[in-house]
Structure 1
Amino acid sequence: MNDIDAWVWWLVGAAALGIPLVVTAMPEFGMFAVGAVAAAVVAALGPGVVAQVITFLVVSVALIAVVRPVANRHSRQRPQLASGIEALKGKQAVVLERVDGRGGRVKLAGEIWSARALDADRAYEAGQEVDVVDIEGATAIVI
């Protein structure tokens, strides 16, 4: 460490911790990298190695203790906005061709869909409004 300042080594360490962050997608490596950058700042200000290591540990542990629980909480939440076929469930459709247990056609969200009645004994005639309860492949299941 005689030729290169300590802050440069901390930045090299931060970059080295960034590599497994990208390769493994484990955010903990990013938190350690931020701790190394904080230690580089402390090293540039002049305190000794002990202060640098303590800064690295405190910042890294603090980030893990604060960020991980928040990230875990957000990853378990369902999206607020339904999209794709989930957005079509519960919508109303208009029957274009008779829909029964074997099939038919409906207009759903401005598009023509094949449809099938949930209750195989039930039939819906053209012009009736039906509710979409599920989507199976490209077929709307209606009641």
Structure 2
Amino acid sequence: MGALIWLVAALALAGAEALTGDLFLLMLSGGALSAAGASALFGGPVWVDGAVFAAISILLLVLVRPALRKRFAAGTGLPEPMKALEGKSALVIDRVSRHEGQVKLDGEVWTARPLDETEVYEPGDHVTVMNIDGATAVVFKGI
């Protein structure tokens, strides 16, 4: 019976984590899941389950959570292949203006717009990719 209670607690904590995204409740959920396992395997007194919960939760909070948070924070920004396109030369294949245009960049056709929205680049112009905005190359002719 104790294992079932710990299992329900683990699921409730994991579900609550989905609302917060801070990884704190997920670590507590891991502790509750460990307590459920200890209760099911050993069937000891409730205080032993509580001790397992506390010990595993603290270990997860101290050792696992910081590493996960660091790993998730490192994922911000553009993927490396996109950053590698910045500064490369591209060929305008369809008139590039504020709301339209295409360039050929590294053998692929990209939607493009000028860095300075007042400028217009004609087919055949060579431009430089200043940055990638989603799936659009932001280009400039002056470099």
TM-score by length of 2: 0.66
Q: Deviations over 1:26-72 (max 9, x none)?
A: 32212111111111122121221221111000111101111121123
Larger-gyration structure (1/2) = 1
Higher strand proportion, which one? 2
Identity %, equivalent residues: 29
Match for 1:65: what amino acid? V
Q: 1:127 offset after TM fit, Å?
A: 5.6
Q: Say if 1:113 and 1:140, in contact at 8 Å, map to a contact too.
A: no
SS in 2 for 1:26: coil
Q: Say if 2:130 and 2:138, in contact at 8 Å, map to a contact too.
A: no
Partners of 2:79 and 2:132 lie apart in 1 by: 20
Matched, 1:81 2:80: yes
Which residue of 106, 109, 112 maps to 1:111?
Answer: 109
| Other-structure match for 1:13 | 9
Q: Say if 1:134 and 1:141, in contact at 8 Å, map to a contact too.
A: no
Aligned residues: 131
Partners of 2:115 and 2:8 lie apart in 1 by: 64
| Other-structure match for 1:51 | 48
Structure 1 unaligned residues grouped into runs of 5+: 100-104, 119-123
Structure 2 unaligned residues grouped into runs of 5+: none
Q: 1:88 offset after TM fit, Å?
A: 3.6
| Other-structure match for 1:37 | 33
Task: Tell me whether 26-35 or 71-80 shows the greater mean CA deviation.
Answer: 71-80
Matched, 1:22 2:48: no
SS in 1 for 2:54: helix
Task: Tell me whether 60-69 or 105-114 shows the greater mean CA deviation.
Answer: 105-114
Q: 1:90 offset after TM fit, Å?
A: 1.2
CA root-mean-square deviation: 3.7
Distance 1:27 1:13, change over 3 A: same
TM-score by length of 1: 0.66
